[in-house]
Structure 1
Amino acid sequence: MKSGISNLLVVDDEAVVRDMLRHILIDEGFNVLVAEDGKSAVNTAKENDLDLALIDIKLPDTNGVQVLEKIKIFRPNLKAIMMTAYENEDLIRQALKEGAYACLFKPFDIAALLDMFEKII
């Protein structure tokens, strides 16, 4: 993503994943904010103008679908991609129904993620 800067929220309870994605996405030209759980993700989204979100489906205090639902209330134009290390067809289906563009299974190819971001912004 080299053209305009997009504001991106990365939501994952694993610090290693958050930090890795933050560094890679900053290098790609994104303005990256991070959150470790659903509550902080919703608060961050309320306080910041966001274009994109990368949300883990399994979070310690809720699931990523509920986070997406809450964020969409006040950020209806937010584009989201879900990620998960667990196969949970019901939650994936719910996320897509709530407007998520796709769901990536960890570990995923960063080039594929960047390609998806290019398509949805």
Structure 2
Amino acid sequence: MTKKKLLIVDDQVGIRILLLEVFATEGYETFQAPNGRIALDIVRTNRPDLVLLDMKIPGMDGLEILKQIKEYDKEIKVIMMTAYGELDMIKEATDLGALMHFTKPFDIDEMRLAVNMQLGQSSSSQFATGS
């Protein structure tokens, strides 16, 4: 079985390192990018299953990166991260296909659960999730 691929896009190195460590131990193949250009290169070369995408990135913002990811492949799942309560941007991100968003500082366990749920990994959960 191939490992699920996860791309972390954030201009803050501390957040990237934290998320890389958490998701590497969950068994994902993890990639990181500090900006949109590198993120989109990784999307094209490695096609991640899920992208954790910061809303506020210098240069190309999260919404623009999200648009380009979805233009490249609609199947790639995206979860937004934001330090700001910008409801209009969050709504736009949802309209563009983002699954959900986390406001920083986020609860790392909630983030882990959300990612595992989206990627169908039930490593730490014995419970079926239904809606």
Pair in the same fold by TM > 0.5: yes
Unaligned runs of 5+ in 1: none
Residue of structure 2 in register with 1:62 after alignment: 60
Tell me the distance in 1 between the aligned counterparts of 2:86 and 2:118: 24
Is the counterpart of residue 114 in structure 1 residue 112 in structure 2? yes
Of 78, 81, 84, which residue of structure 2 is paired with 1:83?
81
Residue of structure 2 in register with 1:35 after alignment: 33
1:27-46 CA distances to partner (integer Å, 9 max, x unpaired)? 11111000001111111111
Tell me the distance in 2 between the aligned counterparts of 1:114 and 1:4: 19
Tell me the distance in 2 between the aligned counterparts of 1:10 and 1:98: 18
Tell me the distance in 2 between the aligned counterparts of 1:22 and 1:109: 15
1:56-114 CA distances to partner (integer Å, 9 max, x unpaired)? 00000121111011011122100110001111111111111111111100111111112
Q: How many residues align?
A: 119
Change (3 A) 1:56 1:31: same
Any idea what SS the aligned residue of 1:53 has? strand
Instruction: Report the AA paired with residue 16 of structure 1.
Output: G
Residue of structure 1 in register with 2:69 after alignment: 71
Q: Report how far residue 115 of structure 1 moved.
A: 1.6
The alignment's C-alpha RMSD in Å is 1.3
Is the counterpart of residue 6 in structure 1 residue 11 in structure 2? no
Residue of structure 1 in register with 2:124 after alignment: none
Any idea what SS the aligned residue of 1:58 has? coil
Residue of structure 1 in register with 2:92 after alignment: 94
1:48-59 matches, cutoff 5 A: 48-59=46-57
Unaligned runs of 5+ in 2: 120-131
Structure of larger gyration radius? 2
Instruction: Report the AA paired with residue 96 of structure 1.
Output: T
Tell me the distance in 2 between the aligned counterparts of 1:111 and 1:4: 24
Q: Report how far residue 118 of structure 1 moved.
A: 2.6
- Indicate the percent of aligned positions where both proteins have the same amino acid: 34
User: Could you tell me the TM-score, scaled by structure 1's length?
Assistant: 0.92
Any idea what SS the aligned residue of 1:90 has? helix
